[in-house]
Amino acid sequence: MHGTRHRTSAPSEPAFSGPIRIGDRRFRKTSTEFGRRIAGLPKLLDLPGEEHFLVPRSRVIAHYPGIAAMSQLSADELADLRGFVELLEATKGVPASAHGLTGSLALRSRLPASDYDWVLYDTDPSTVRGLIERLADIRPVRPFSKEFLERKYLSVSGLSARELAQLFGRRWTYFYWGQRLLSLSFVSTSDCCDELLNLREYTRRAVVRGVVRGAGGSHFMPRRFEILADQRSHRILTWLFLYKGALEEGDTVEVIGHWASSGGEKFLVIGRPGEHMRLLRRADGADLD
């Protein structure tokens, strides 16, 4: 939020017979749509399934804070999921107060097949990643099919189907805890992006190849990390879901984007058709699959 404005995505839209009920209205989830317009709202991003608008505070009807959504869990859900909270506190020192839920539970519109949109506040993703990948009790999954991934990103990203799969295959934020499917996100309450609502964007495109620094920033919204190239550090910025958790410290990547600035800081932004980040070499030196 910046002053009286919010940046928001459009993950669902009104639909007379939609399966999602929020208050007294019905909605359906969007998929790969784009090109929609909402009267009076400037559009900041217009890519398949990733449409962002600038919304005045006066047009926000209701706010559903994520941390309060924990109270929406049933007794059975709490019994199943309490172990995850206790595990992170016992092994990584993540307090119970750092956990929250967003999405359909916060909106009080969860369907039986929905996952749990789990949030960890002010927690370093690297603290949790090794634990998630190591424990036999946790089963990472890829909830999106190859066909969906290609339909959403292939025509606009400038990446091949193989390169898309390489990026998406790095993601570990969807996993089963017992029989409960969790989608894990990380939120920083101090590193806000208010100033980026006034981003001044330029037409000039640039290509940067280098080594990723601050890979944990790819988990936050917007994704912000740095690339070290030719002894210079370049700040990369993208709002795209594709890159959520797709990076590891020390990866070598190629970024094609356009320059932008805000508050005296300069960013290389990935957000227009044909702009992308391509994984060139893994940090551990392993071959790309």
Report yes or no on 129 lying in a domain: yes
Label residue 126 by pLDDT band (50, 70, 90): confident
Determine how many CB atoms are found less than 10 A away from the CB of residue 270: 22
Determine how many CB atoms are found less than 10 A away from the CB of residue 119: 22
Q: Are 95 and 111 in a shared domain?
A: yes
What is the sign of the dihedral through the CA atoms of 47, 188, 214 and 279? negative
Report yes or no on 268 lying in a domain: yes
Domain boundary among 59, 85, 103: 59
Q: Are 55 and 18 in a shared domain?
A: yes
* Three-class DSSP category at 43: strand
Q: Are 72 and 182 in a shared domain?
A: yes
Q: What is the pLDDT of residue 160?
A: 92
Domain boundary among 156, 187, 218: 187
Report yes or no on 225 lying in a domain: yes
What is the CATH number for 220? 2.40.50.140
Q: What is the pLDDT of residue 129?
A: 86
Q: Are 212 and 117 in a shared domain?
A: no
Q: Are 96 and 10 in a shared domain?
A: no
- Does residue 242 carry a pLDDT above 60? yes
Q: Are 82 and 156 in a shared domain?
A: yes
Q: Are 217 and 276 in a shared domain?
A: yes
For the residues 192-197, what does the mean pLDDT come to? 72
For the residues 33-37, what does the mean pLDDT come to? 82
Q: Are 70 and 183 in a shared domain?
A: yes
Report yes or no on 286 lying in a domain: no
- Does residue 289 carry a pLDDT above 80? no
Instruction: Decide: 47 and 273 in contact? Cβ < 8 Å.
Output: yes
Q: Are 126 and 40 in a shared domain?
A: no
Domain boundary among 59, 80, 97: 59
Q: What is the pLDDT of residue 146?
A: 86
Instruction: Decide: 251 and 205 in contact? Cβ < 8 Å.
Output: no
Label residue 69 by pLDDT band (50, 70, 90): low
- Does residue 247 carry a pLDDT above 80? yes
Report yes or no on 287 lying in a domain: no
For the residues 266-270, what does the mean pLDDT come to? 93
% of the chain at pLDDT higher than 70: 91
Q: What is the pLDDT of residue 20?
A: 67
Report yes or no on 132 lying in a domain: yes
- Does residue 199 carry a pLDDT above 60? yes
- Does residue 24 carry a pLDDT above 80? no
Report yes or no on 119 lying in a domain: yes
* Three-class DSSP category at 153: helix
82: CB partners within 8 A, 6+ apart: none
Please count the structural domains in the chain. 3
| Tokens (6 digits) for 288 | 């790309």
Comparison of pLDDT for 225 and 56, the residue scoring more: 225
Q: Are 85 and 36 in a shared domain?
A: no
For the residues 194-209, what does the mean pLDDT come to? 82
For the residues 157-169, what does the mean pLDDT come to? 89
Report yes or no on 192 lying in a domain: no
Q: What is the pLDDT of residue 38?
A: 83
Q: Are 163 and 143 in a shared domain?
A: yes
Instruction: Decide: 34 and 48 in contact? Cβ < 8 Å.
Output: yes
Q: What is the pLDDT of residue 157?
A: 87
Q: What is the pLDDT of residue 268?
A: 94
- Does residue 75 carry a pLDDT above 80? yes
| Long-range CB pairs of 96-105, under 8 A, 24+ apart, other chains included | 98/122, 98/123, 99/70, 100/66, 100/67, 100/68, 100/69, 100/70, 100/187, 101/66, 101/69, 101/70, 101/72, 101/73, 102/64, 102/66, 102/69, 102/185, 103/183, 104/20, 105/69, 105/72, 105/73
Q: Are 115 and 71 in a shared domain?
A: yes
Q: What is the pLDDT of residue 16?
A: 61
For residue 184, list its beta bridge partners.
Answer: 118
pTM of the model as a whole:
0.83
User: Which residue range is the domain that position 274 belongs to?
Assistant: 197-281
For the residues 36-55, what does the mean pLDDT come to? 84
| Tokens (6 digits) for 34 | 């784009």
- Does residue 46 carry a pLDDT above 90? no
- Does residue 115 carry a pLDDT above 90? no
Cis check: omega of the bond before 222, within 30 degrees of 0? yes
